[in-house]
């Protein structure tokens, strides 16, 4: 029951929030914040059980036939992430209430935000790969609507699309990877999968599984070269940036890496791909952050740096690296959410986020400033803050990484140098000094705007001073779940005079130097070139890919949907000829003369009529004669059905023939004459298609008759049709009972087609599909235009 | 074809008979040849015949609703009959039957009624729209 409440209460709130919000007044944020707070409480009550080595499982059957169940699983790893989501969520809900106070779509915003939280909780608690995938996609969808929340602004819409396309592409890769995992292990259940690591690593699907899962994780967690969407996602309102694009959703990719670490890690492929991409992302984005002056852009790039660092640590895969990753997830969530909320508060007060234009805010917003200060110092990794504990662990993992300690250590130190400088930019530039003309306007923000940052900043100090609180309760179970083993971590603020302490001192010194020379640094040519290539350059690359896809779509539409019915028909028939003839060529033609029983006179007559009607269409010139001739052929065939004991088929054929005649009359009278528009070559080609189709279909019938006639389905229906279907007409009971789902699908298609025809005819003046293309030779004659364009102007409907 | 007295007289006699026949086909479909699809086609053709004789506007008036609504209602009925068994804990589209004084009624019959209405709607939406697109063929004066 507990897990069900944790996952689904958010969806319920999402349903009622739009109606509830107009009645909540100013308290919306505080009121809705009670739900994530309650979820946090429920999750916290499980801490003891999980720390003692237990797990929790809950399962509801969904599609049992496919092994797809709505099942949830709570272990150390999922508990850590779930607590982060609901805990940070509480603060974000409160903050959003103040940040968007009075917004006319506040209810909608809380609905989206709540849906996101529920989806994210479902993701980290899912115990079934398909359930996992669905929640994964739901978070992408929630991210889409939240980034595009200001949908009347073009940049928001573009950023929303970009984030959706990139993360959905990764999501599809993830789905394929999951299916392959199921194929390899025989189960969709994650907790059962975790036992089959050796099987997976030895399996021939191992390489595709790893690459597909990494594609999902790297796009979601904004790794190189996919990270371009994350800075653009900053178009979202700041509560969204703080919650989705820093503290939680982008860590879904990290969660994928951590969740499947026990079964996929431990190979060179994993170590070098995950570690390498992570390290490259970390190093690049840390220095790219210094190229921007917008506070949210700096925060976005340092978020990518953190994600790169986490990816790298999970790639290294040693015990201390995994512990460092779990600690850093917490460290980063605490300081980054606080800094985002502080930046948002500044934006809310003065509507400027450029660090070069802001000064002296300390005088106007002391509480926000204090919280931002504590968070920035934690980000810079100075003692006694939680960030320092995290960084020491990272350095410990880097120096202890046996295959390449120098490379990993060097990359980590360099990235952290840039991080220290970025922390300086975010804290010292806006808050120091005296107010200028921009910051004069700032007021003391509402409590909701500083509540979250202050709580997180205090947390950063508290956990820095007493990190051992986490050892047994959170860190041990979560790192243990990632490693698939029991671990006993011991966090401490002071480790003595170690190599890591020396590296920390070096980092701080380098960071201070980088901060002091920042003006020269971010205007220097090589760094600007770096930004042009890897910042805006990748973004433009995305545009090129999208443009290419659209061009391909246009090309194939022109090729396949050229609007000329004759060509559609030829395509279908030539494809049929090719496929059937190919099959005969492959298997050999096994048809042959068949023994025909006594043919009665009326069967002869009907057959001759059917053939004669078809042949007649070649010679008649008048339309009405053509149609009549076709009708003779069709009705004769219907009568033949009747003589062979298929009354239902015959009846349907009669009715369809009748309708066809009516429709053909209606259509052909609207089209101008086509005679004379065909060249002799085209006539030969059309003749060849017609004769070829007739030949392969006849061959097919002859071949089918040579096969032994077994009819188990016929027997089955003959026996069951009255007993189970309550009817004596086999055809009808099949249609409406045994295979009713097929019928339901067919009539749905029929409905869609009906409305499609209605829309096409009502549009009437649709543009000529050939207008912008080079007209093909056979269309050169103005008489053979497609139906729509040759029809008269739209007629006013006369309904009485 | 315009103002053909023979056609108009024949249509006036035939259309009600065809409609009756279509319902007959629909209802007996479960045991004898017939069914919703065939019945729907017959009913659709009867309205088409009326349109050929008296014009599309008159046929539309005789229908008393729009073909689009028939389509939507038809699919709706089919979906309801598909979902009905779920309420009793059965499977999707499972046949539910009640017997009352020798007359059997079941959810497949309801399903067939949905098919019937939808087929009428689709047939007529195409015929009406095509004709109104090209109003040279059917008479344009109704017998007001």
Look over chain B and give the mean of its residue pLDDT values, rounded to a whole number. Answer: 84
**pLDDT, tens digit (0-9, with 9 covering 90-100), for A606-635:** 999 999 999 998 888 787 888 889 889 999
Q: Is the pLDDT reported for residue A751 higher than 80? A: yes
Asked whether A390 and A480 are in contact (CB, 8 A), the reply is no
Q: pLDDT tier at A670 (50, 70, 90 boundaries)?
A: low
A707 vs A21, more confident = A21
**pLDDT, tens digit (0-9, with 9 covering 90-100), for A300-312:** 999 999 999 999 9
Please indicate whether, in this complex, the C-beta atoms of A751 and B72 are within 8 angstroms of each other.
Answer: yes
CA of A495: how far to CAs of A393, A400, A498, A499, in Å?
10, 16, 7, 10
- The two tokens of residue A155 are 């940049």
Q: Select the residue of B38, B95, B133 nearest A725 (Cβ to Cβ).
A: B95
Look over chain A and give the mean of its residue pLDDT values, rounded to a whole number. Answer: 88
Q: Select the residue of A753, A797, A800 nearest B61 (Cβ to Cβ).
A: A800
Please indicate whether, in this complex, the C-beta atoms of A670 and B134 are within 8 angstroms of each other.
Answer: yes
d(CA A795, CA A406): 79
Residue A393: give the domain boundaries: 266-523
Task: Please give the ipTM for the structure prediction.
Answer: 0.89
Q: For chain A, state the CA radius of gyration.
A: 34
Please indicate whether, in this complex, the C-beta atoms of B122 and A792 are within 8 angstroms of each other.
Answer: no
- CA A655 vs. chain centroid, Å, equals 47
- The two tokens of residue A744 are 């339901």
State residue A779's pLDDT score: 40
**Beta-carbon neighbour count of residue B84 at 10 Å?**
17
Asked whether residue A310 is assigned to any structural domain, the reply reads yes
A676/chain B closest Cα distance in angstroms: 24
Nearest residue to A386 via CA among A441, A471, A457, A285: A457
Nearest residue to A796 via CA among B41, B43, B57: B57
Please indicate whether, in this complex, the C-beta atoms of B30 and A733 are within 8 angstroms of each other.
Answer: yes
A673/chain B closest Cα distance in angstroms: 15
What mean pLDDT is predicted for residues A127-154?
94
Please indicate whether, in this complex, the C-beta atoms of B119 and A655 are within 8 angstroms of each other.
Answer: no
Asked whether residue A236 is assigned to any structural domain, the reply reads no
Q: Using CA coordinates, name the residue in chain B closest to A667.
A: B130
**pLDDT, tens digit (0-9, with 9 covering 90-100), for A250-306:** 999 999 999 999 999 989 999 999 999 999 999 999 999 999 999 999 999 999 999
State residue B95's pLDDT score: 74
> Percent of chain B, pLDDT > 70?
90
List the Cα angle A460/A466/A471 in 5-degree steps.
105
Chain A residues within 8 A of B36 when measuring between CB atoms:
736
Asked whether residue A32 is assigned to any structural domain, the reply reads no
Asked whether residue A191 is assigned to any structural domain, the reply reads no
d(CA A562, CA A784): 14
**pLDDT, tens digit (0-9, with 9 covering 90-100), for A415-461:** 999 999 999 999 998 998 888 888 888 888 889 999 999 999 999 99
B46 vs A668, more confident = B46
**pLDDT, tens digit (0-9, with 9 covering 90-100), for A534-569:** 888 899 999 999 999 999 999 998 888 887 778 889
Mutate to test the interface with B, among A664, A747, A759 (most CBs of B within 10 A): A747
Please indicate whether, in this complex, the C-beta atoms of B134 and A764 are within 8 angstroms of each other.
Answer: no
**pLDDT, tens digit (0-9, with 9 covering 90-100), for A777-788:** 444 444 433 444
Diameter over CA atoms, chain A: 110
State residue A800's pLDDT score: 35
Please indicate whether, in this complex, the C-beta atoms of B93 and A800 are within 8 angstroms of each other.
Answer: no
Chain A residues within 8 A of B132 when measuring between CB atoms:
795, 797-798
Asked whether A138 and A151 are in contact (CB, 8 A), the reply is no
Q: Select the residue of A666, A667, A736 nearest B108 (Cβ to Cβ).
A: A736
**pLDDT, tens digit (0-9, with 9 covering 90-100), for A495-536:** 888 899 999 999 999 999 999 999 888 888 888 888 888 888
Q: Using CA coordinates, name the residue in chain A closest to B121.
A: A754
Asked whether A157 and A148 are in contact (CB, 8 A), the reply is yes
Q: Using CA coordinates, name the residue in chain B closest to A794.
A: B133
Q: Select the residue of A667, A747, A800 nearest B130 (Cβ to Cβ).
A: A667
Please indicate whether, in this complex, the C-beta atoms of B34 and A732 are within 8 angstroms of each other.
Answer: yes
**pLDDT, tens digit (0-9, with 9 covering 90-100), for B80-132:** 988 888 777 777 777 777 777 777 778 888 899 999 999 999 999 999 988 88
For chains A and B, count residue pairs whose Cβ atoms are closer than 8 Å: 162
State residue A115's pLDDT score: 96
Asked whether residue A271 is assigned to any structural domain, the reply reads yes
Q: Using CA coordinates, name the residue in chain B closest to A760.
A: B129
Asked whether residue A473 is assigned to any structural domain, the reply reads yes
State residue A776's pLDDT score: 41
Q: pLDDT tier at A485 (50, 70, 90 boundaries)?
A: confident
d(CA A371, CA A458): 8
Q: What is the DSSP code (8-state) at residue B33?
A: S
Query: Which residues have C-beta within 8 Å of that of residue B20, sequence separation ≥ 6?
Result: none
Q: Is the pLDDT reported for residue A773 higher than 60? A: no
Q: pLDDT tier at A671 (50, 70, 90 boundaries)?
A: low
Q: Give yes or no for A729 touching B (CB within 8 A).
A: yes
Please indicate whether, in this complex, the C-beta atoms of B129 and A757 are within 8 angstroms of each other.
Answer: yes
Please indicate whether, in this complex, the C-beta atoms of A669 and B137 are within 8 angstroms of each other.
Answer: yes
d(CA B137, CA B53): 10
Least-confidence region, from A321-335, A468-482, A612-626: A612-626
Asked whether residue A233 is assigned to any structural domain, the reply reads no
What mean pLDDT is predicted for residues B36-58?
91
State residue A420's pLDDT score: 95
The per-residue DSSP string of A341-401 comes to: HHHHHHHHHHS--BTTT---HHHH-HHHHHHHHHHHHHHHT-TTSHHHHHHHHHHHHHHT-
Q: Give yes or no for A758 touching B (CB within 8 A).
A: yes
d(CA A143, CA A153): 17
State residue A675's pLDDT score: 54
Q: Is the pLDDT reported for residue A767 higher than 80? A: no
Query: Which residues partner with A61 through β-bridges?
Result: A69
Chain B residues within 8 A of A65 when measuring between CB atoms:
none
Asked whether A439 and A350 are in contact (CB, 8 A), the reply is yes
A737/chain B closest Cα distance in angstroms: 6
Please indicate whether, in this complex, the C-beta atoms of B71 and A735 are within 8 angstroms of each other.
Answer: no
d(CA A314, CA A323): 10
Query: Which residues partner with B105 through β-bridges?
Result: B98
d(CA A178, CA A190): 10
Nearest residue to B41 via CA among A752, A734, A657: A657
**pLDDT, tens digit (0-9, with 9 covering 90-100), for A216-235:** 999 999 999 999 999 999 99
Mutate to test the interface with B, among A645, A728, A736 (most CBs of B within 10 A): A736
Q: Using CA coordinates, name the residue in chain B closest to A762.
A: B129
Chain B residues within 8 A of A647 when measuring between CB atoms:
33
Q: Using CA coordinates, name the residue in chain B closest to A755.
A: B68
**pLDDT, tens digit (0-9, with 9 covering 90-100), for A35-58:** 999 999 999 999 999 999 889 999
Asked whether A75 and A55 are in contact (CB, 8 A), the reply is yes
Q: What is the DSSP code (8-state) at residue A260?
A: T
Q: Using CA coordinates, name the residue in chain A closest to B28.
A: A729
Q: Using CA coordinates, name the residue in chain A closest to B34.
A: A648
d(CA A10, CA A1): 15
Q: How many domains does chain A have?
A: 1
Please indicate whether, in this complex, the C-beta atoms of B68 and A755 are within 8 angstroms of each other.
Answer: yes
Q: Select the residue of A655, A758, A800 nearest B57 (Cβ to Cβ).
A: A800
**pLDDT, tens digit (0-9, with 9 covering 90-100), for A577-592:** 999 999 988 888 877 7
Asked whether A430 and A344 are in contact (CB, 8 A), the reply is no
- The two tokens of residue A619 are 């010679």
Chain B residues within 8 A of A670 when measuring between CB atoms:
130, 133-134
Chain A residues within 8 A of B72 when measuring between CB atoms:
751
Asked whether residue A529 is assigned to any structural domain, the reply reads no
> Percent of chain A, pLDDT > 70?
94
**A56-83 burial, b if ≥16 CB within 10 A, otherwise e?**
bebeeeeeeeeebbbbbbbbbbbbbbbb
Q: pLDDT tier at B23 (50, 70, 90 boundaries)?
A: very high
The label of the residue with tokens 């339901």 reads: A744
State residue A144's pLDDT score: 96
Q: Give yes or no for A728 touching B (CB within 8 A).
A: yes
At residue A797, φ and ψ (nearest 5 deg) are -75, 140
d(CA A541, CA A543): 5
């Amino acid at each position: 029951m507990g897990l069900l409440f944790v996952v689904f209460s958010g969806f319920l709130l999402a349903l009622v929030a739009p109606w509830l919000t107009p009645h909540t007044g100013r308290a919306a944020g505080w009121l809705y914040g009670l739900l994530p707070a309650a979820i946090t409480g429920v999750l916290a009550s499980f801490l003891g059980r999980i720390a003692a080595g237990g797990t929790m499982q809950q399962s509801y059957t969904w599609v049992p036939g496919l092994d797809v169940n709505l099942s949830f699983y709570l272990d150390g790893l999922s508990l850590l992430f779930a607590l982060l989501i609901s805990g940070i969520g509480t603060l974000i809900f409160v903050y959003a209430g103040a940040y968007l106070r009075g917004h006319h779509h506040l209810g909608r915003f809380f609905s989206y935000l709540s849906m996101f939280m529920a989806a994210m909780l479902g993701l980290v608690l899912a115990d079934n790969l398909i359930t996992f995938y669905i929640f994964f996609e739901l978070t992408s969808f929630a991210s889409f609507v939240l980034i595009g929340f200001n949908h009347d602004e073009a940049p928001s819409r573009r950023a929303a699309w970009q984030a959706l396309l990139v993360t959905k592409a990764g999501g599809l890769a993830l789905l394929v990877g999951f299916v392959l995992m199921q194929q390899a292990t025989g189960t969709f259940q994650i907790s059962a999968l975790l036992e089959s690591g050796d099987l997976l690593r030895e399996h021939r699907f191992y390489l595709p599984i790893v690459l597909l899962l990494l594609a999902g994780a790297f796009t979601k967690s904004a790794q190189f070269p996919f990270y371009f969407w994350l800075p653009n996602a900053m178009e979202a309102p700041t509560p969204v940036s703080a919650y989705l694009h820093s503290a939680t959703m982008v860590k879904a990719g990290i969660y994928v890496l951590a969740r499947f670490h026990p079964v996929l890690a431990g190979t060179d492929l994993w170590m070098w791909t995950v570690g390498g991409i992570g390290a490259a992302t970390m190093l690049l984005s840390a220095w790219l952050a210094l190229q921007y002056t917008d506070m949210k852009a700096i925060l976005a790039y340092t978020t990518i740096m953190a994600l790169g660092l986490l990816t790298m640590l999970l790639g290294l895969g040693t015990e201390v690296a995994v512990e460092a990753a779990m600690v850093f997830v917490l460290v980063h969530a605490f300081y980054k959410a606080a800094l985002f909320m502080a930046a948002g508060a500044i934006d809310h007060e003065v509507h400027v986020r450029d660090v070069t234009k802001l000064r002296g805010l300390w005088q106007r917003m002391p509480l926000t400033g204090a919280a931002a200060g504590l968070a920035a110092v934690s980000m810079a990794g100075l003692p006694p803050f939680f960030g320092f504990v995290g960084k020491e662990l990272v350095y410990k993992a880097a120096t202890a990484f046996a295959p390449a300690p120098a490379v990993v250590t060097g990359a980590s130190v360099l990235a952290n140098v840039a991080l220290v400088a970025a922390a300086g930019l975010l804290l010292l530039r806006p808050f120091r000094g005296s107010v200028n003309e921009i910051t004069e306007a700032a007021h003391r923000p509402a409590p909701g705007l500083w509540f979250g940052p202050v709580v997180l900043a205090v947390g950063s100090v508290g956990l820095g001073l007493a990190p051992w609180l986490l050892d047994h309760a959170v860190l041990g179970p979560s790192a243990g779940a990632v490693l698939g083993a029991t671990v006993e971590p011991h966090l401490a603020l002071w480790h003595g005079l170690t190599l890591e302490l020396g590296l920390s001192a070096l980092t701080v010194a380098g960071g201070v130097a980088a901060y002091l020379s920042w003006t020269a640094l971010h205007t220097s040519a090589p760094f600007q070139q770096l930004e042009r290539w890897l910042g805006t350059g990748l973004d433009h690359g995305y545009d090129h890919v999208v443009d290419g896809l659209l061009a391909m779509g246009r090309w194939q539409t022109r090729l396949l949907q050229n609007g000329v019915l004759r060509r559609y028909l030829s395509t279908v028939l030539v494809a049929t000829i090719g496929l059937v003839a190919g099959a005969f060529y492959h298997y050999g033609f096994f048809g042959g003369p068949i023994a025909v029983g006594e043919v009665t006179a009326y069967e002869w007559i009907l057959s001759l009529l059917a053939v004669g009607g078809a042949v007649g269409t070649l010679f008649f010139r008048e339309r009405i004669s053509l149609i009549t001739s076709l009708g003779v052929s069709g009705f004769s065939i219907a009568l033949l059905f009747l003589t062979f004991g298929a009354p239902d088929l015959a009846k349907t054929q009669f009715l369809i023939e009748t309708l066809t005649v009516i429709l053909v009359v209606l259509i052909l009278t609207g089209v101008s004459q086509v005679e004379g528009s065909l060249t002799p070559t085209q006539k030969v080609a059309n003749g060849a298609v017609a004769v070829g189709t007739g030949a392969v279909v006849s061959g097919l019938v002859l071949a089918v008759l040579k096969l032994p006639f077994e009819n188990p389905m016929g027997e089955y229906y003959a026996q069951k049709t009255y007993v189970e279907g309550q009817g004596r007409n086999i055809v009808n009971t099949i249609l409406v009972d045994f295979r009713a789902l097929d019928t339901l699908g067919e009539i749905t298609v029929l409905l869609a087609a009906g409305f499609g025809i209605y829309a096409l005819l009502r549009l009437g003046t649709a543009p000529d599909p050939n207008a912008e293309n080079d007209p093909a030779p056979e269309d050169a004659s103005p008489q053979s235009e497609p139906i729509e364009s040759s029809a008269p102007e739209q007629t006013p409907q006369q309904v009485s | 074809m315009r103002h053909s007295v023979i056609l108009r007289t024949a249509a006036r006699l035939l259309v009600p008979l065809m409609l009756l026949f279509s319902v007959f086909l629909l209802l007996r479909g479960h045991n004898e040849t017939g069914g919703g699809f065939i019945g729907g086609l017959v009913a659709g053709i009867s309205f088409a015949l009326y349109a050929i004789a008296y014009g599309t506007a008159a046929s539309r008036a005789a229908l008393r609703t729009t073909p689009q609504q028939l389509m939507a209602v038809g699919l709706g009925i089919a979906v309801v009959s598909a979902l009905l068994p779920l309420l009793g804990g059965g499977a999707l589209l499972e046949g539910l039957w009640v017997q009352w004084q020798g007359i059997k009624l079941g959810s497949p019959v309801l399903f067939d009624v949905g098919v019937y209405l939808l087929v009428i709607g689709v047939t007529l939406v195409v015929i009406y729209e095509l004709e109104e697109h090209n109003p040279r063929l059917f008479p344009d004066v109704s017998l007001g």
